[in-house]
Structure 1
Amino acid sequence: FYSTASELENALNGVYHSLTVDGTFGRNLVIELANETDELFYKRTTLTVNPMLFNYDASNTVIAASWRALFDGVNRANYLLANIDKPVMDEKARKVIKGEALFLRSFLYFQLVSYWGDVPLMLTPTVDGNNVNVPRTPSAQIYAQILKDLTEAKDLVNPITAYTNNGKVSKTAVQAMLARVCLKMAGYPLKNTSKYVEARAWADSVITSGLHSLNPDYKQIFINHSADKYDLKECIWEIEFFGNNTGSVLLGARFSNQLAIRNTNADAGYGYAILGATPTLFNLYKQGDTRRDWNIATYGFVSNNSTDTVAKTDIYSRDAGKWRRQYETVRPLDVNWSSTNLPVLRYADVLLMFAEADNEIEGRPS
């Protein structure tokens, strides 16, 4: 394998695929491991042991699945990078593949270090099961490698103008991720405040590129994700999902169904509504902020198996509404899977990162 340009592309697709499984962004890193805050609460009674309930240990299957999936992605990237020079091919295409692989490895390690702190740093492929006791590497070294990979990737990948979708890593995606990583390094636990300057500079490089802008219709951003429409101005990088997991191509996501408005009706779209907003989150929105009533739906269904809706006003009875199943284009709607894409980097994120870094540097709002 890795002997032709096509095989390198296939290997790269395999690295991207590691972001779509249940252990990563198909479910766990969007739901179970992303919502241990005072802004959300678990609305069901099915689970009793789960990170969302603050009741788990290292043997928890969610934790194990995410650890395994993230390192599987790292290993796929390592295999690709170890064989990147093997085939005879166009050198520009080779550089692009290498850049994307470096970005993806750094992104996977960013998840690992964010959740677990010191983790094993492995930059070569795992070729057998003999070397299983790899020591943990200090977080500072992990972050240094992340920055090294991202900085190299920046000059290798294509600009977003080379694509008609934002599922591929582009130069502004790398710059935006550099801003995010530097901002994280400036805060807990490293508290390397010198990184605020770098975070601002990287965010500014995206802003001054002129390639991105805000979508004036907030709700349309998320309708696009469900309807398989691309907005390359607002959304810089998305994790792509496809279909409803029927047939031979199994690339659907579970996060959108889990966060959908509660319903068991096939036509309206099955929704588990496992998370709800707390008053803490609800009250963060100022009066008149239209984002609130899109993110926290103002309606539910008359019954759990209905297409008819009813208004909801009580905070605790309202469900998450960011991604709504009626906008999905893949039919029939599946109980567990959808093709809704997950935004990782939006232009709005870049503006907020710039503002935060600038505020820390200047000591005042910009």
Structure 2
Amino acid sequence: MKHIFLCILAGVLFTSCSKFLEEEPQSFLAPENYYKTAEDAFIALTGAYDALGSNSETFIARRLQYLTWYASDEALAPTLTAQKPLDEFSYVSDNDDVSRVWNNMYAAINATNIVINRVAGITMNDSLKSQYLAEARFLRAMNYFYGVRLWGDLPLVTIEVTSLSEVDIARSPAADVYGQIIEDLNYAAERLAPTNQNGRARKGAAKALLAKVYLTRASSVAAQAGDYQKCADLCSEVIVMPQHTLLPDYEKATGAEDEFNRESLFEWQGDRVLISSGEHSILGAFSLPRGMFVVPGQAASDGGSIAAEVDYFNKYPDGDYRKQCTFYTSGPDKNGNTITWQQLAVPYPSPARKYINKNASTRDAAAFSGNFVVLRMADVYLMRAEALNEISGPTADAYTMINAIRARARNRDGVNPSAIPADLEGLSKESFRDAVLNERVLELGFEGHRWFDLVRTKRLVQTIKAIHPTYPVSDKHLLFPIPANEVKLNPKIKQNPEW
């Protein structure tokens, strides 16, 4: 955190700080000269959203997924040498991706603190001010929620950092971090409107994220009585909101051509085409099936940097519609012959279908235009099913939740419905718990949930060992290491156990 705030204070965020660290800072910007008008408030809020991703150096649509996709059973990195340690659990505390996510997260938190600390004092429309503050607190909560799950105890910074004297602070217990997250999301849920401009926080997003916070805390060291019930209740509130619904066609729930649909609760927005500056996601480009012509008449795909673990791919039954909506399993090569994923230049299943624009006429527009969906309604249904089961076993309502997801998959695209997957019934509490976790694999694959699910259910080590017996994965990997540079620069920071 100290490293990134040195960069922020120097005004060189997202650039190298090595030269700056060799010099003694002489002065800082004077914030009192800014944030005087409603326009200033909007610019500050825009900065808080922009901190989620800038150019291709995106926080939640690149580096965060490197950590959580590769360090689970979901994906592997066949062509990215720097990311192989994440996949093979040989990474150490100076891992570049771990450091980038930490730094990006705290930069994003500081951007939200600027809004929260400065906009409150601006003379402007009260309703608009309330909205901006609520959006900023939603974003701060989301950033801290990622952080507490990745690292556990965290330095808890709720003020705008304007000097180096404010940087050297110790880690607060995870319970306190959760407390701040919950306070921020309650504030946001109470004040946000049910609708908002695309890409910005809404009431349903705040309630759904708060439900996920309670579900996660329930199985953590910070657990409190009633967490599962609060999760279930919040999910119910979101489900009945008229602004949100499960779409009838699973394929329409994600994808660049179906962005900001009624199933979506919150998503990070990439640009529609690859340009020299501006946000764009690499998740589609990097996961394309290398050597396959995804867009007819265009160059063959040169992805393959993000590929699905074969074991994860095999969790999808062949008749499940969600399999064909998630993976490229076959397509034309340069000669127009149909090839399968086993014949690709990088012979692993490609999970690109959720991130490309299937209506695009150029490869770049197809590959770089996908948003990253942080939350959608299917997740809410499955969270409620899981919470109800943990409270009192698989109730009728719990079955209704999970079977609604399975029924949508059977419906396919509304043409030629399938018998797969069948409704669930007659399960024990333990079997239902397993069924929900497996349903999250099929429904939410490559949407940024798997590592978190494996960690909070204490299944990461056994899952990885089952498919990679020689990988040195252990309980220490339930948390990432605090970046080595952070520990070096801040004497109050203590490293996570065994790192």
Shorter-chain TM-score above 0.5: yes
> Counterpart in 1 of 2:50?
17
> Counterpart in 2 of 1:114?
149
Deviation at 1:188, TM superposition (A): 3.3
> Counterpart in 2 of 1:254?
282
Contact 2:73 2:309 in 1 (8 A): yes
> Counterpart in 1 of 2:102?
67
Q: Partners in 2 of 1:307 and 1:205 — Cα distance?
A: 53
- 1:103-142 to structure 2, matched below 5 A, reads 103-142=138-177
- Percent identity over the alignment is 26
Query: Which of 231, 235, 240 is the aligned partner of 2:264?
Result: 235
RMSD: 2.6
- 1:246-325 to structure 2, matched below 5 A, reads 246-247=275-276, 249-263=277-291, 267-268=298-299, 270-302=301-333, 306=334, 308=336, 310-312=338-340, 314=342, 317-323=348-354, 325=356
SS, match of residue 211 in structure 1: coil
Query: Which of 195, 213, 222 is the aligned partner of 2:227?
Result: 195
> Counterpart in 2 of 1:82?
117
Q: Partners in 1 of 2:317 and 2:355 — Cα distance?
A: 23
Deviation at 1:268, TM superposition (A): 4.7
Which residue identity does 2:327 align to in structure 1? I
Query: Which of 215, 233, 239 is the aligned partner of 1:207?
Result: 239
Contact 1:261 1:324 in 2 (8 A): no
- 1:34-49 to structure 2, matched below 5 A, reads 34-44=69-79, 46-47=81-82
Deviation at 1:172, TM superposition (A): 0.5
Contact 1:78 1:124 in 2 (8 A): yes
Structure 1-normalised TM-score?
Answer: 0.88
- Per residue, is there more helix in 1 or in 2? 2
Which residue identity does 1:209 align to in structure 2? M
Contact 2:120 2:133 in 1 (8 A): no
> Counterpart in 2 of 1:341?
371
Deviation at 1:191, TM superposition (A): 4.1
Which residue identity does 2:263 align to in structure 1? E
Deviation at 1:313, TM superposition (A): 6.1
Query: Which of 26, 37, 45 is the aligned partner of 1:4?
Result: 37
SS, match of residue 333 in structure 1: helix
Q: Partners in 1 of 2:213 and 2:247 — Cα distance?
A: 25
Q: Partners in 2 of 1:243 and 1:81 — Cα distance?
A: 30
Which residue identity does 2:265 align to in structure 1? I
Contact 1:23 1:62 in 2 (8 A): no
Q: Partners in 2 of 1:230 and 1:133 — Cα distance?
A: 40
Which residue identity does 2:316 align to in structure 1? Y
Give the stretch that moved more between structures: 57-66 or 106-115: 57-66
Deviation at 1:193, TM superposition (A): 5.3
Give the stretch that moved more between structures: 340-349 or 204-213: 204-213
Deviation at 1:288, TM superposition (A): 1.6
Alpha carbons of structure 1 residues 332 and 355: separation in structure 2 relative to 1, 3 Å: closer
Alpha carbons of structure 1 residues 203 and 334: separation in structure 2 relative to 1, 3 Å: closer
Give the stretch that moved more between structures: 288-297 or 91-100: 288-297
Deviation at 1:124, TM superposition (A): 0.5
Alpha carbons of structure 1 residues 115 and 330: separation in structure 2 relative to 1, 3 Å: farther
Which 5+ residue runs of structure 1 have no aligned equivalent? Answer: none
Q: Partners in 2 of 1:309 and 1:320 — Cα distance?
A: 21
Contact 2:325 2:354 in 1 (8 A): no
Alpha carbons of structure 1 residues 55 and 156: separation in structure 2 relative to 1, 3 Å: same
Deviation at 1:119, TM superposition (A): 0.9
Alpha carbons of structure 1 residues 131 and 168: separation in structure 2 relative to 1, 3 Å: closer
SS, match of residue 34 in structure 1: helix
Q: Partners in 1 of 2:145 and 2:252 — Cα distance?
A: 29
Contact 1:154 1:175 in 2 (8 A): yes
Q: Partners in 2 of 1:331 and 1:82 — Cα distance?
A: 44
Which residue identity does 2:313 align to in structure 1? F
Which residue identity does 1:234 align to in structure 2? E
Alpha carbons of structure 1 residues 67 and 204: separation in structure 2 relative to 1, 3 Å: same
Q: Partners in 1 of 2:64 and 2:243 — Cα distance?
A: 29
Q: Partners in 1 of 2:361 and 2:159 — Cα distance?
A: 39
SS, match of residue 123 in structure 1: coil
SS, match of residue 125 in structure 1: coil
Deviation at 1:331, TM superposition (A): 5.3
Cα-to-partner distance string for 1:34-67 (whole Å, 9 max, x where unaligned): 3312233333363475323322112111111111
Which residue identity does 2:95 align to in structure 1? N
Q: Partners in 2 of 1:339 and 1:45 — Cα distance?
A: 22
Matched, 1:220 2:249: no
Alpha carbons of structure 1 residues 300 and 31: separation in structure 2 relative to 1, 3 Å: farther
> Counterpart in 2 of 1:356?
386
Deviation at 1:207, TM superposition (A): 0.9
- 1:125-164 to structure 2, matched below 5 A, reads 125-160=160-195, 162-163=196-197
Q: Partners in 2 of 1:228 and 1:283 — Cα distance?
A: 27
Contact 2:283 2:355 in 1 (8 A): no
Deviation at 1:88, TM superposition (A): 1.9
Q: Partners in 2 of 1:169 and 1:269 — Cα distance?
A: 37
Q: Partners in 2 of 1:179 and 1:54 — Cα distance?
A: 30
Alpha carbons of structure 1 residues 297 and 194: separation in structure 2 relative to 1, 3 Å: same
SS, match of residue 227 in structure 1: helix
Contact 1:299 1:318 in 2 (8 A): no
Alpha carbons of structure 1 residues 313 and 50: separation in structure 2 relative to 1, 3 Å: closer
> Counterpart in 1 of 2:434?
none
The structure having more radius of gyration, on CA atoms, is 2
Deviation at 1:279, TM superposition (A): 4.3
Deviation at 1:349, TM superposition (A): 0.7
Aligned residues: 355
Cα-to-partner distance string for 1:205-261 (whole Å, 9 max, x where unaligned): 101223221122222233xx3236431x111111111144524x4211222211222
Structure 2-normalised TM-score?
Answer: 0.66
Contact 1:99 1:157 in 2 (8 A): yes
